[in-house]
Each structure stands twice: as structure tokens, then as C-alpha cells.
Amino acid sequence: MEKLFERLFQELCQATPALKRNCREVARRITDEVQRICTESQRIQDTGDVEGWANNLANHRLKQVLRYLKFGSAKGRLELHSSLSAIVYRYMTPPNVQSSYQARVALIEDFLQNFYGESINAFRRENEVAVDYQPRSSLELAEYMAFTERYAKRRIPLSRGRSQQLIILRTQTFSKQQPPETAIDIQQAIEGGDSEHPRTAPLQRLREELTTEKNLGESESTVRERVAEQLMTYLVEKDQKDCADYFSLRLMDLPTNEIESILQITPRERDYLQQRFKYHLLKFSFAHNWELVHEWLGAELVKNLGLTPQQWEHFQSNISRTQAKVLSLKQQGLSDLEVSKTLDLTATQLRKQWSKLLEQAWDIRNI
């Protein structure tokens, strides 16, 4: 097992920008889990190839961790959430509740938030970490998401030789416990609450910052107001007046039922509107006025887009040759027109390359 640990440690060090201490801890936890499985499984013991099984199990776990690490924080959470939602959807059938798509989605959101809490407790218990352990680094978060996926899909033995995935059993129990009048707003589930319930779900920082009042210094408050004002102008210019109206109501932190009442829309229509607003928000952040947004978030180009030295090195090693040239010329202070001429790119091609660079940095910075 020490040989396995050393291999995992070296592979993590080579494949990730994480600190060696971080890589060592994750490699040790994978090794310990694999050893426990091989020791407790009579079927594996009977094969006579315990080492082969240990390597296969470890490789599977390493592959999962690296997969989520590649996704990044936001995309990784979305991938995990989507995967688990697809598994439990057909089993979310509460009694005496109309099983519409909207009703199921709302209940699934609520159920999965509870399940993630159960998962982190299981992770702490099985890996002998502190009772208040929370994944902090990008590698630890990827490790936790990979664990949650495996934990959800564990086969639980039932009577008469049958078995079922743990998350399905949890879903069936949760579904039966729902009272007939249960109604969970999908907007509340996505955004983590309304004005009376603090947001706890992981959101894109920009949307959360824009719609949350904080104790800001005068200069930061001014930049925040400029971001909000220019985003509003951008939405109107793009003929997205309904998104602008939605944004203005979100700035007032109104609960979702009031927003629906003022805009005279249904919950489903509001859900579509929110997704459209999110799309335009990202375009605004990565292309339309990225300098102002990044100044506000403390992630200007002169500050390496808000990345730590280690993250910046990892970022530069994972971009294309064209992107590297764009980045270098931008750092030299060249205008977009000058960069386009130097690299023989159209204005549209340059915007696409730069938008991709900003999004990659965003993912690394927020995991």
C-alpha cells in the first residue's frame, strides 16, 4: 500500500497545481479507503489478486478526482448536481402531490441540499478528518465531489438478494415524508433563499455580490454602482428589457413571489427569465465590460486576474498558444485593435479567445 500511496502522490503532484501537502493528504485518504475495501471484501480476498484490485480501485478514484478538478468548482458542482438529479428524478413522487416537472425539480433541489450535508458527514467519518472539516482547496473540493458521487451510487443490500443505490433509497424515504401542501420555490432552491433566508448555495460571485448589500468602502461601493449601472445599460441595449426589470427587482432583494406578481409571470416563466439573465450576465462579465467587473472583484490583469502565483502558473500551462500570445500582448498594454493586427485575428475571434481566457481564470479562481 505504501507503493500505491507514493504512485498516487506523484501523479497528483504532476497533474494538479495543488500544494504537495494537499496532494499527500488526498493520496493518503484514497490509499486508506482502498485498503479498507480490499481488507473487508471477502470477494476480493478470494480472487488472490488483492494488489490488482487495489490498483484498479485507486485508479478509478484518482480519475474521478482529476475529472472534477478539470471541471472546476462551478462546472463540477453542476455536473454532480445534474448527474444525481437524473438518478433520483423518477423516484421523487410524493403522495398526494401533483407530479409535475416543476414540483419534482423543486423537491429534488431540496432533497439534494440535505444529501450533500449527509455526504460531507460521511466523508468526515470515513476519512477520520476533523468533525468540522470542509474542503478548502480545489483539489479537496474535487475529492469531496468524487466521494459524493460514489457515496450516492453505493449498493445497499436488501432482502432476497436484492440491492439498491443509496441515493435512491434516500429519495424514496424523503418523498414519502413530504406533506401534501409541500411547495418549494425553484428560485429559492437555486439561489439559496429569499430575503428572510440567507443564501447558502454556491453561486457565481458576481451575481451574489450584485444582489447582496454589504458594508462597502466608498470606492468599492462606487465601483459596485458602476457595474450595476453598466449591466443595466447593457441589458437594455441588447433588447433585454425583461431581464433588466428582473435585475432591478433582484437588486431590491425582493422575494420571488413578489417578483412574479410585479412582472405578472408564472414561476416557470420566471425560471426561464432567470436563466436568460444569467446568460447575459456571463457575457457582460467575460466580454462586454470585463475590465470594470474584474477591477471590482480585485482580479485585474495587472494582478494576474486574481490568481495566486501557483494558480497563475497552472493557468498559463493550460492555455493554447494563441491564447498565450493574446495574454502576453494584453499584458504589454496593447489595445484590442493592435492585438488583432499583430495576431491576424478578427475582432470577433479576439473577443472569443479573450472570453475563454477570462472564463478559465474565473473557474480556477473560484474553486
Model pLDDT for residues 83-106, shown as the tens digit of each residue: 898 888 878 876 555 455 666 777
Query: How high is the pLDDT of residue 219?
Result: 47
Q: Collect all residues with Cβ–Cβ distance below 8 Å to 280 and sequence separation of at least 6.
A: 234, 235, 238, 240, 243
| Chain position carrying cell 441595449 | 237
Domain shared by 65 and 99, yes or no: no
Asked whether residue 194 is assigned to any structural domain, the reply reads no
Asked whether residue 190 is assigned to any structural domain, the reply reads no
Query: What does the CA dihedral 334, 340, 344, 349 come to, rounded to 10 degrees?
Result: 140
Asked whether residue 191 is assigned to any structural domain, the reply reads no
Query: How high is the pLDDT of residue 235?
Result: 82
| Averaged pLDDT for residues 70-89 | 87
Q: Which of 295, 309, 296, 285 is nearest to 358 (CA)?
A: 285
**Range 322-325, long-range pairs (CB < 8 A, 24+ positions):** 322/353, 323/353, 323/356, 323/357
Domain shared by 5 and 15, yes or no: yes
Query: How high is the pLDDT of residue 193?
Result: 39
Domain shared by 234 and 150, yes or no: no
Domain shared by 154 and 239, yes or no: no
By percentage, how much of the chain surpasses pLDDT 90?
A: 17
Q: Where is the domain boundary, 16, 41, 71?
A: 71
Mean pLDDT of the chain: 76
Domain shared by 108 and 176, yes or no: yes
| Averaged pLDDT for residues 273-297 | 64
Mean pLDDT is lowest, of 65-74, 176-185, 296-305, for 176-185
Q: Where is the domain boundary, 293, 316, 346?
A: 293
Q: What is the DSSP string of 12-79?
A: HHHH----HHHHHHHHHHHHHHHHHHHHH-HHHHHHT-HHHHHHHHHHHHHHHHHHHHHH-HHHHHHH
| Averaged pLDDT for residues 332-359 | 80
Domain shared by 133 and 213, yes or no: no
Asked whether residue 189 is assigned to any structural domain, the reply reads no
Domain shared by 64 and 76, yes or no: no
Which three cell numbers mark 163? 440491492
* Cα–Cα distance measured from residue 14 to residue 146, given in angstroms and rounded to the nearest whole number: 19
Domain that holds residue 307: 301-365
* Cα–Cα distance measured from residue 345 to residue 343, given in angstroms and rounded to the nearest whole number: 5
* Cα–Cα distance measured from residue 172 to residue 93, given in angstroms and rounded to the nearest whole number: 8
Asked whether residue 253 is assigned to any structural domain, the reply reads yes
Query: How high is the pLDDT of residue 202?
Result: 31
Neighbouring C-alpha atoms within 13 Å toward the C-beta of 232: 15
361 neighbors 299 (Cβ within 8 angstroms): yes
Q: How confident is the model at residue 249 (pLDDT cuts 50, 70, 90)?
A: confident
- CATH number of the domain that residue 333 is part of: 1.10.10
Query: How high is the pLDDT of residue 199?
Result: 34
8 neighbors 34 (Cβ within 8 angstroms): no
Asked whether residue 1 is assigned to any structural domain, the reply reads yes
Asked whether residue 195 is assigned to any structural domain, the reply reads no
Asked whether residue 206 is assigned to any structural domain, the reply reads yes
Query: How high is the pLDDT of residue 287?
Result: 55
pLDDT at 190 over 50: no
* Cα–Cα distance measured from residue 119 to residue 127, given in angstroms and rounded to the nearest whole number: 12
Domain shared by 235 and 131, yes or no: no
pLDDT at 124 over 70: yes
Domain shared by 77 and 147, yes or no: yes
Q: Where is the domain boundary, 19, 37, 71?
A: 71
Domain shared by 273 and 347, yes or no: no
Distances (CA, A) of 161 to 144, 153, 164: 31, 18, 10
Give me the count of residues in the chain. 367
This prediction has a pTM of: 0.50
Most confident of 164-178, 195-209, 217-231: 164-178
Mean pLDDT is lowest, of 47-61, 102-116, 215-229, 258-272, for 215-229
Query: How high is the pLDDT of residue 354?
Result: 74
* Cα–Cα distance measured from residue 109 to residue 191, given in angstroms and rounded to the nearest whole number: 11
Query: How high is the pLDDT of residue 28?
Result: 94
Q: How confident is the model at residue 329 (pLDDT cuts 50, 70, 90)?
A: confident
Query: How high is the pLDDT of residue 217?
Result: 45
pLDDT digit string, tens, across residues 192-204: 333 333 333 333 4
Most confident of 43-47, 166-170, 283-287, 307-311: 166-170
Domain tally for the chain? 4
Domain shared by 158 and 221, yes or no: no
Residue type, 291: E
Domain shared by 242 and 278, yes or no: yes
